[in-house]
Each structure stands twice: as C-alpha cells, then as structure tokens.
A and B are shown apart, each in its own frame.
Chain A
Amino acid sequence: MTAAREAIALPLVFLTVTLLGGLRIADGVALLPPSLFALVLSVLLLGLLVRCGALAPNRLVHASRSFLANVNGLVVMLSAFLASAQAFNVATPESGAPRVLFNLVYLVLLANTIAASPDRARVLRSLLVIFGSAFIVKFIVLSALSHPAEGTVTRALQVLFEGVTLGSVTQDVFHPATGYIAFGTLMLYLFGLVLLPAADRGGLKPAATYRTSLNTNREGNELEE
C-alpha cells in the first residue's frame, strides 16, 4: 500500500463518509451523530473485516513502522470505525419499529457472517448486499409509505395503513437529495473498504488454505511413511 493511499486517500474517504452519513435534509439541514448501537455494530463490522482479512491492522500499526506511519495507520482505523458507524446510521430508519428491526437484522447478519468466517471478497459482497438492501427499504419502500400521498384513494389507503400499524412504520419525510447523498455515501464507504490494506494470504481463500494445509500434512505424512 502506498503512503498516499494510507495517509491521504483512506482517511479522506472515511472522513467524508463520517460527515455525509449523518446528513439529513428536510425543512432544515441536520447532522445526526451515530447512535450507540451503530457504534456497537461498527465494532462488530471492524472485527469481521479483520477476521476475513479485508483489514490487516498489522499493516497499519506495527513496531517495525515509523512513528508517523503508525499515526497514519491509527487515523485510518479510527476513521474506518467512525465511517462504519455512520454507514449504519445512514442505512437505518430514523424511528419506530423499522429502526429496531433493522438494528436486530444487522446484529444477526454480522454475527452470522463472523461465525461463517468467509473470505475478503465474500464479506465485501455480503456488505454490498446488506447496505444495498437497507438503502432500498429505507429510501425507496419506507419513503414511499411515509410520503404524503397525492390522490384521495392513495391518501385513504395510507391513513388505513398508518392506523393498522399504529403509526410505527411511517418515517419522517426527507428531501429527495438525502437519498442521493446517502447512496453516494454508502458507495464511497464500500469503495473505502476495498482500498483497506488486506491481510496477505497468498491469494488463497481461508477454506482453500485449510484444505491445502491438510493436503500438505497428508503428503508430508505419506512421504515420511
């Protein structure tokens, strides 16, 4: 990894995600800090990235590196942590039952992915699906349900839906620009994850590495015999 990528590109990408992840445009502009649960999810996600090899902390902070390089590495890790929290913040509905449900689903998905120990590529693909689905549900499905309807019949259906769900599903309506900015933010975040220094595993997947080491042992035993 080049010094420019580590010292300039990665911090700027992740800090931009941190800035834009909390941006909500409605009547005014609001910058929402991440919730406590988003911080917890962020820790889990960083753990997952380290486990799958998408993030190699020893390539960012290590005794063999210079002090300045270690500080740069620390900045990358801190900004990645904040950006992850803000990525969850932007992809999670603001209130009601959907917010609780989304947080639970994130928790289960992350725990499940950590337990499955997939490789880097699969984790990144999985994150794309998680954040992509969350974006679609929040900014397209829930937004359509919450947006004031124009026709009388549609409005009546909307009132009926709100009554049935006790108003726990509908969300605050944001300016359309919020959705576009959220999309760009999530894409930028995933791009940042791709740029992170990966663990050197010789291009082999963990499962393949395991099989290879088993075969090597077996061959070694055969040779000894």
Chain B
Amino acid sequence: MVAMRDGVVRGIGLALALGYAALIAWLYVQQPQSAAEVTGGLSAAIGSYRVDPAAFDDGLQFFRRDQFAAARMAFERADPAHQDARVQFYIAYSYYRQGWGRFYQDDTLFAQGLEAVNRAIARAPGGRIRVDDPDLQMRSGEELKAELEAGLERDASDFNPASVLRPRK
C-alpha cells in the first residue's frame, strides 16, 4: 500500500516537474512581456486563441481615418497577447504611416513598426503574411519590413531631393 502510494506520488511529481520544465522552456523561448501574452501564448499553443472582432473592426476604422494611435489602442484590445499575424501587420503598418514624412522618417515609430512586423512574420504560418486590403499599397510582411528597414537606414539616397516626391504607401 505504502509502495503504491509512493509510486503515485513519484508519478505525479514527475508529471508536474516535466510540465513545469516545459513551461519554463517555452517562457524563455517566447519572452512574453505581460501576463496577457503568457495566457494568450498558451491558448494559441493549444489553438484556442481568438481575436476580438469588434475591437479589430474599430481599429481598422481608425486606421483608415489616419488616427493611428487610436487604431493601435483598438488593435491592442483585439490582440492583447500579440499572437495574431494580421493584427500585428496592421499595427506595424500604422507605425509606418504615422512615422512616414516627406522630408524625414520618425525613427522611433519605424523601429516600433519593425518590431511589430517581425512579430507578425513570426506568428504567420510558414512566416508568410499577406493581407488583401485594397487600402494598402504593401500587402505582404516582406514589403512592409523592407520599407521600414529602408526608412531606418542612413545613406546617400537620404539627400536625394527627388525623394521628397516619393509617395506614402
């Protein structure tokens, strides 16, 4: 009887330890920044994570009216765990559009945009994200990422007067 109870305790302990170790390994790999990211990441891992569609629609409306800060707040509500590639793509795009300027780019906003687009690419199946939105000129993660990276680079083309004529995408 005692041996059987010992066996049960040892079995439960082993399962607990292995589960806890797996959770720790996952946390170290994912590096979540908030409790919402932890719970969202765990639910995404088991396929039960859902974006709030109402908040996402709100975000899209703000985005299309060029109210980027408000759009990002709504997108954050829609995807608090930063697990949805499409929402992260729109967040990155909002940073791009807000940071874009005819004479200079806002490096801080572009850097945040780059962070968001990297998240979007990481979350997308196979690392490939494509958003078919007619309002956007860049519809893939690669295009947006390249544009954000180009905006952060310093080179001779920054002094080309013709760059003033380039359009915002």
Contact = CB atoms under 8 A, between A and B. Distances in A.
Interface of A: 3-4, 6-8, 11-12, 15, 18-19, 22, 28-31, 33, 66, 68-69, 71-72, 75, 79
Given A11-B17, A22-B28, A4 B9 contact: yes
A92 B146 CA distance: 39
Given A15-B21, A72-B14, A3 B31 contact: no
Interface of B: 6-7, 9-14, 16-18, 20-21, 24, 27-28, 31-34
B17 A31 contact: no
A16 B154 CA distance: 45
B10 A19 contact: no
Contact of A8 (B7, B12, B24): B12
Q: Is the interface of A mostly helix, strand, loop or mixed?
A: helix
B11 A68 contact: yes
A68 B7 contact: yes
A223 B34 CA distance: 74
Given A28-B33, A31-B27, A68 B10 contact: yes
Given A18-B24, A19-B24, A71-B14, A8 B33 contact: no
A31 B12 CA distance: 27
A29 B17 contact: no
A29 B16 CA distance: 25
Given A15-B21, A29-B33, A68-B7, A7 B13 contact: yes
Given A31-B27, A31-B31, A75-B17, 20 more contacts: A3-B9, A3-B10, A3-B13, A4-B9, A7-B9, A7-B12, A7-B14, A8-B13, A11-B17, A15-B17, A15-B20, A28-B33, A29-B32, A29-B33, A33-B28, A68-B10, A68-B11, A69-B10, A72-B13, A75-B18
A204 B23 CA distance: 41
B24 A30 contact: no
Contacts of B20: 11-12, 15
A11 B16 contact: yes
Nearest to B13: A7
A35 to B, nearest CB: 14
A28 B18 CA distance: 28
A68 B17 contact: no
A16 to B, nearest CB: 8
Nearest to B31: A31
A19 B27 CA distance: 9
Contacts of A30: 31
A91 B18 CA distance: 26
A7 B7 CA distance: 10
Contacts of A28: 33
A3 B31 CA distance: 34
B123 to A, nearest CB: 18
6 contacts: A3-B9, A7-B12, A15-B21, A19-B27, A31-B31, A66-B7
